[in-house]
Amino acid sequence: MLAGVLLLIFLPPLVAKDLCKDSQDGFKVRLSIKTGLGDDAYEWNESEMFLFRSTLAYAMRKHSNQDTYTIDNILVCNDTQRVSFVFVVTSTDDPDQLIPKEQVELAVRQNKHRINNAFLLSDMTLEFMGIPPTLSAPIIYDTEPWLIVFGVVIGAVAVGIVALLMSTVSKKRRAKEKAAGLSEEDEGIVKENGTALSSLGRKEGVYNQAFSNDDRFTKL
């Protein structure tokens, strides 16, 4: 009678341990608290383990939409100093039945963000072996930033070219007007036999076609 009672008391934890150790539906978890938090690292103890089991229960609840999961459904074993262990999830209806691996994986993936935040860790420092982290969505820009900078540079270049060409054109036009203006002045002042004093100031004088240019070089 006493043996039977003793057996009844000690059987569940023994069975539980076997469920965890030998199971194929378990996941190994590894935490790297010191790497993740440095000086703010906390100590891993029973309370932290309690938190872990409760977050997993929460994840199972959300995934299956059943409010029946409790902390007793999460079994843990193979606890090491590294801070790594194995856990399994038992079904709410039958404590000897385990939830299949795929279901647990889905539950964890859906709620990884919440689980990470509960422990102030990240996907790198709180690892579930066999569950790859979901990658964040790539940033999609409406206009690529490089096109914007390119547009600015090309705009500045175009403005520069136009400005410089305009200044050349206006300089040429001004020079042409000046030359036209000067030649008008000349026509006004210098006459063929004129004695306007201003004509004496010019070096070349007026070229008189009456005298031929042929004998510039004296023929011998």
Partner 1 sequence: MKLKLPNPGLEDRILNHDELERLEVEEAGDRPKWDNKAQYMLTCVGFCVGLGNVWRFPYLCQSHGGGAFMIPFLILLVFEGIPLLHLEFAIGQRLRKGSVGVWRTINPYMLGVGIASMCVSFLVSLYYNTIIAWVMWYFFNSFQEPLPWSQCPINANRTGLVSECERSSPVDYFWYRETLNTSAAIDDMGGLQWWMILCLISAWGVLYVCCIRGIETTGKAVYVTSTLPYVVLTIFLIRGLTLKGSFDGIKFLFTPDLNELANPTTWLDAGAQVFYSFSLAFGGLISFSSYNSVHNNCEQDAVIISIINAFTSIYAATVIYSIIGFRATERFDDCLSGNILTLLNTFDLPEGNITESNYQEVLHSLNSTNSDIISNLNLKTCDLNSFLSEGVEGTGLAFIVFTEAITKMPLSPLWSVLFFVMLFCLGLSSMFGNIEGVLVPLQDLKVFPKSWPKEVISGVTCLVCCLVGLIFVQGSGNYWLALFDSFAGSIPLLIIAFSEMIGVVYVYGIDRFNEDLIFMIGHKPNIFWQATWRVISPLIMLAIFIFYFSTIVTKEIFYIAWDPESENFPTLEKKPYPSWIYVIIFLLAGVPSLSVPGTAVFRAIREYCCKKHPSAPVQEIDSVSSNSKFCSFIHS
Chain residues that interact with partner 1, rule: CB under 8 A? 30, 32-35, 80-84, 132, 135, 137-138, 145-150, 153-154, 157-158, 160-161, 164-165, 168, 216-217
CB closer to partner 1 out of 134 and 198: 134
Q: Hey, what are 184's tokens?
A: 């008008």
CA distances from 159 to 61, 155, 180 (A): 64, 6, 31
Q: Smallest gap, in angstroms, from Cβ of residue 148 to partner 1?
A: 8
192: exposed, middle or buried (C-beta count within 10 Å: 0-12, 13-18, 19+)?
exposed
How many angstroms separate the first and last alpha carbons of the chain? 159
Stretch (H or E) spanning 87 = strand 84-89
Q: Smallest gap, in angstroms, from Cβ of residue 186 to partner 1?
A: 22
Q: Smallest gap, in angstroms, from Cβ of residue 16 to partner 1?
A: 22
CB closer to partner 1 out of 168 and 198: 168
Sheet with 126-128: strands ordered across:
74-77, 84-89, 27-31, 126-128
Q: Smallest gap, in angstroms, from Cβ of residue 132 to partner 1?
A: 8
d(CA 126, CA 32): 6
Q: Which of 123, 125, 103 is nearest to 56 (CA)?
A: 103
CB closer to partner 1 out of 153 and 196: 153
CB closer to partner 1 out of 94 and 214: 214
Q: Given the structure tokens 């939409």, which residue do they identify?
A: 65
Q: Smallest gap, in angstroms, from Cβ of residue 135 to partner 1?
A: 5
CB closer to partner 1 out of 4 and 205: 205
